[in-house]
Amino acid sequence: KAGVTQTPRYLIKTRGQQVTLSCSPISGHRSVSWYQQTPGQGLQFLFEYFSETQRNKGNFPGRFSGRQFSNSRSEMNVSTLELGDSALYLCASSLAGGLLAKNIQYFGAGTRLSVL
């Protein structure tokens, strides 16, 4: 079974541009979560989608948005890029279910974004 696939792996953008990252979950997984990793802040939760609905959102500005398609694939978009958006963006998928369900998250290899 294929793992979580993130594209592209590397991206270089300039300030003010926007960027779209893609995540294909493990087959059968319906939940996709996004995380940002930086040396200063560590791993921080961005948002989680289940059945095309955002179920939870972290403390990030509105420039960060996402969506999920009917096939569970997800995209996240960052508009008006800032230097501080340079980070490793990780996507995770899980079978999902209720809060008390066994819900193991599996991560993709990430997209490394550099903003110049």
Partner 1 sequence: GIQVEQSPPDLILQEGANSTLRCNFSDSVNNLQWFHQNPWGQLINLFYIPSGTKQNGRLSATTVATERYSLLYISSSQTTDSGVYFCAVRGSNYKLTFGKGTLLTVNP
User: Over the range 26-52, which residues count as b (16 or more CB within 10 Å of their CB) and which as e?
Assistant: beebbbbbbbbeeeeeeeeebbbbbee
The SS3 of residue 108 is: coil
Binding partner 1 by CB under 8 A: which of 25, 110, 113, 115? 110
The SS3 of residue 20 is: strand
Binding partner 1 by CB under 8 A: which of 18, 27, 103, 114? 103
Q: Contacts with partner 1 in 26-85 (CB under 8 A)? A: 31, 33, 35, 37, 42-45, 48, 50, 55-56, 58
- Applying CB under 8 A, the residues found at the interface with partner 1 are 31, 33, 35, 37, 42-45, 48, 50, 55-56, 58, 88, 90, 92, 99-100, 102-110, 112
